[in-house]
Amino acid sequence: MNRLEGRVVLITGAGRGLGHGVARGLVRYGATVIGVSRTTSELEALAAEIRQSGGDIDIQSVDLSQPAEIEELAQRVVERYGRLDALINNAAILRNRSFLDLTAEEFDETIEVNLMAPIRLIRAFLPTMLAQGYGAIINVSSRAGIQPFALETDYCAAKYGLEGFSFSLAIELQPKNISVNVVSPGYRIKPTSVTAEEFASWPEERRAEYRDPIDMADGFAYLALQDGSGVTGQRFNAFDLAEKVRQNGWDWKPDPAS
């Protein structure tokens, strides 16, 4: 369970949903986890849960739609830790609203958070990864990154863009020993737009329809250990990847042709 001991991992959108579960899982593997979210109360609840279990987490309240806040975050992290081993870009906005019902400001905010924030975070932390000689970048997409959906024009635009960017960047960074991979959750988890408080208020039978994303943590831990000489430039179903790791061990390598 100490496979990530000594590794510094930053995950955005850590206050709820997938980010919340993966952050808990990576702490269990011994990583120094930096959990980022805009909602301070959700980060504090995450930290309390982790600390109650004997772990710890560094929480950072950041509005990822603001470029200046991303730069300040990167500066704080590098000053405190001097490194970043893995960056998990998970934060996202999903409104499920028709194109004409979206205001221009709302559309722009989705692009800022879902596409531009990962790009800016990578730009901010890439010099550190290059200086240390390795790193792992994990960009969280969804089916909306490869399949169009009604009521998700802004979300699909961002996720399609994120996937194209990721695979192009993987080619550039492989010779520099930095991996770039894309993951999609793989099973039904609480929608990112639903707060922890809202989810807790749902009837138990409705909450039971959604799985705990901590079950995907093995997949994220596996990718956080990769560099340019390992697995890079690939797209994974996160739960299937976690199952492969659990079944075949940490030295397992996917078939690029599959």
Supply the residues annotated as catalytic: 155
**Which 3 state secondary structure label does DSSP give 20?**
helix
Provide φ and ψ at 235, rounded to 5°. Answer: -120, 130
Question: Would strands 86-89 and 58-61 be described as parallel, antiparallel, or unpaired?
Answer: unpaired
CB atoms inside a 10 Å sphere around CB 135: 27
Residue 223: both structure tokens together:
């990718």
Judge contact between 150 and 161, C-beta under 8 A: no
Going by C-beta distance under 8 Å and a sequence separation of 6 or more, which residues neighbour residue 120?
Answer: 67, 70, 71
What stretch of H or E contains 135?
strand 135-140
